[in-house]
Structure 1
Amino acid sequence: MDSGQWTVDSERGPSDLIRLLQWVFGTIRVELGELCTFTRGNGLQKKDFTEEGYPVIHYGQIYTRYGFSTDKTISFTGQNVFAKLKKAKPGDIVMATTSENVEDVGKAVVWEGNEEVGIGGHSCALQTEQSSKFLVYYFQSNDFQQQKEKMVVGTKVIELYPKNIQKILIILPSLEEQSRIVTILDKFDELMTSISQGLSKEIELRQKQYEYFRDTLLNFPDKYE
């Protein structure tokens, strides 16, 4: 084995092998496609929205209206449309795969509601046995962003196809360490939200502090450089 980097090449399930490698190496580097099952969204348009009904997430809302997680949706649709949509289950990640800029494409939100949520086109649901919240935070890290920038296509409309997302390498600590990192970053996210109505300079300062601690927490040993 080479520095803990691994690809699925065994008849054993990937989850068992990931746990074994984490036990041996502590932190390993794994392709996202080996951590998650991807489901591409379909069919949801803004004209399908209703005042109430079944919960849905539109791809454009992921980078304009949602934070890192949510247990409630901004939009709803009727039964007929909802029945045709692909779904994300509680604990799944919903990722935007289309945007007008590189920064927003690939942004994601963890669905923490108590029921399935419908997802539309230009998005996909990621189901994982790892910490969904950890992965969503990792998607904002410098390491992920640098890899993502090499895989997007388009100029006016930027696309990040699931087949390419799956190739992005994730530096993955143990579930215990993932939980510790999420707890710290959640506190910073709550702080940023609580001062969102404050002075612009204070917001800018706290944002820089948050980004510093985020990148520090998600910056793992140099053996992967």
Structure 2
Amino acid sequence: MSELRRYPDYKDSGVPWLGEIPSHWEVIDNKYLFNFSRGLTITKANLVDEGIPCINYGEVHSKYGFEVDPKIHKLKCVPKEYVEKFDYALLNRGDFIFADTSEDYKGSGNFTYLNSDEMTFAGYHTVVARLKTDDDPRFMAYLFDSNEFRTQVKTRVSGVKVFSITHNILKNVSVWIPSKSEQQAIVNFLDDKLNHIDTLISKQQQLIEKLAEQRSAVITHAVTKGLDPDAPMKDSGVEWLGDIPEHWDSFKITHLVETIGSGTTPKSSNSNYYADEGTLWVTTSELRESVIADTKKKLTEDALQDYSTLKVFPINSVAIAMYGATIGRLGILGEEATFNQACCVYSESEKIHYKFLYYWLWYRRPILISLSNGGGQPNLNQDDLRKLVIPIPAIKEQEEIVNYLDNKTQKIDKMSEATTDIITKLQEYRAALITQAVTGKIDVRYLNQQAS
């Protein structure tokens, strides 16, 4: 940003992490600019598909971020009769909606603002901030999105696993305010610059999606059709699979692998069961589509002796997560290890190459997950995982397929990683540009004059 001009005069802001600001800017506590209130005291169960749109803390944290418009963003709703009963939680254009809790420290201070005149409610676990001045709400949104403002919030939050963002915190953090004309100039500058950056980010994200689709297509074709495009085909006898190469045979997985099993969790209160050195103990958090060479926790011989369900699986065993948020995750053992009860583990045999099994499970994973049972938390059943039918060629051809897929997926993954790095750099530049503009480190009035 060497071409960007600074203001002629600066002063100490008196705000930690902010440093100097232009000498004519004013530092003021949030409480003098905003009135604060709460959203609806409801739960997810109160939400419906049709009615009055409602912005809940989930949307603030994960969906729409900086701004929300019900005409563009699909929001869950509350019944229309809420308008008469709970009008205190109705929003005006330019109102800010902060999530009042965050499950991670980084998310403390997450917000969105309503950029619409459509009747909209603030939902559960939210704090509403409404400007009582004529300051530009979009400028305030950029300011709230800056690292300097967020740092103030983060240093005040309380909690360990869940961090609370209270009215009192938001009221007493400082903001720094230029003139109304400067606010508008900063908004115009950032809207223009960030639109270009966001377009570049979107294109890179689309490329990552295309690479993911390409990766999936390559794996799917190789493990179901093989590498020879001229190979004669036959009906697999499995409706969802279709034709397979004529020389392939289908087997139940119990006839292909050496063993299928799981594990357990030794009593955590017994210090004799866990140690810094010992047998690797794999949990689903360590299944990340990669080779497992180490684990957070290791088990002692005492644990292995006291729990007969703790089988030690050999190198190259393939595991799949069966429960909850990690369902379907895969891993390959790079060292001997035992597992907890949430993993289903297959050990290879002379009939099936471990990497071929890994790639086949990766291809089949979306269907397995879709067929999983359970209410709010889907589960894969180990009995069902024992009934899987896999069409395979001879071991030599499996090795050829594995080598081909290793080569292809590594190239795609490198392209995806490079693209992700580009996105990261663009996002860092985006954040830096916001900070530079809203803290007065650059004088955008000069840039706007140049443009005109």
Shorter-chain TM-score above 0.5: yes
Q: Distance in 1 between matches of 2:44 and 2:197?
A: 30
Secondary structure of 1:109's match? strand
1:114 aligns with 2:117: yes
Give the aligned partner of residue 21 of structure 1.
Answer: none
How far off its partner does 1:40 sit?
A: 1.2
Identity %: 24
Q: Distance in 2 between matches of 1:190 and 1:67?
A: 15
Cα-to-partner distance string for 1:57-107 (whole Å, 9 max, x where unaligned): 011211200131122152212123454441211121111121112222222
How far off its partner does 1:201 sit?
A: 3.0
Is there any run of 5+ residues in structure 2 with no aligned partner, and where? Answer: 1-10, 14-22, 205-418, 442-452
How does the TM-score come out when normalised to structure 1? 0.80
How far off its partner does 1:31 sit?
A: 0.2
Cα-to-partner distance string for 1:201-222 (whole Å, 9 max, x where unaligned): 332221122122112112247x
Q: Is the 8 A contact 1:4 1:27 kept in 2?
A: no
Task: Check 1:65–1:94 CA distance in 2 against 1; reply closer, same or farther (3 A cut).
Answer: same
Is there any run of 5+ residues in structure 1 with no aligned partner, and where? Answer: 6-24
Give the aligned partner of residue 99 of structure 1.
Answer: 102
How does the TM-score come out when normalised to structure 2? 0.41
Number of residue-to-residue matches in the alignment: 201
The one-letter code matched in structure 2 to 1:121 is Y
How far off its partner does 1:190 sit?
A: 2.5
Find the partner of 1:65 among 58, 63, 66: 63
Over aligned residues, Cα RMSD in angstroms?
A: 2.3
How far off its partner does 1:171 sit?
A: 0.9
Q: Distance in 2 between matches of 1:76 and 1:194?
A: 30
Structure number with higher relative contact order (C-alpha < 8 Å, ≥ 6 residues apart) = 1
1:172 aligns with 2:177: yes
How far off its partner does 1:4 sit?
A: 10
* Bigger-Rg structure (1/2): 2
Give the aligned partner of residue 25 of structure 2.
Answer: 27
The one-letter code matched in structure 2 to 1:143 is E
1:77 aligns with 2:75: no
How far off its partner does 1:141 sit?
A: 1.8
Q: Distance in 1 between matches of 2:126 and 2:182?
A: 28
Cα-to-partner distance string for 1:151-177 (whole Å, 9 max, x where unaligned): 111111110111121000101111111
Cα-to-partner distance string for 1:180-212 (whole Å, 9 max, x where unaligned): 212222234323432324132332221122122
Give runs of ≥4 in structure 1 deviating > 6 Å: none
Aligned counterparts, 1:201-212, within 5 A: 201-212=421-432
Aligned counterparts, 1:131-146, within 5 A: 131-146=136-151
Aligned counterparts, 1:37-48, within 5 A: 37-48=35-46
Find the partner of 1:150 among 146, 155, 179: 155
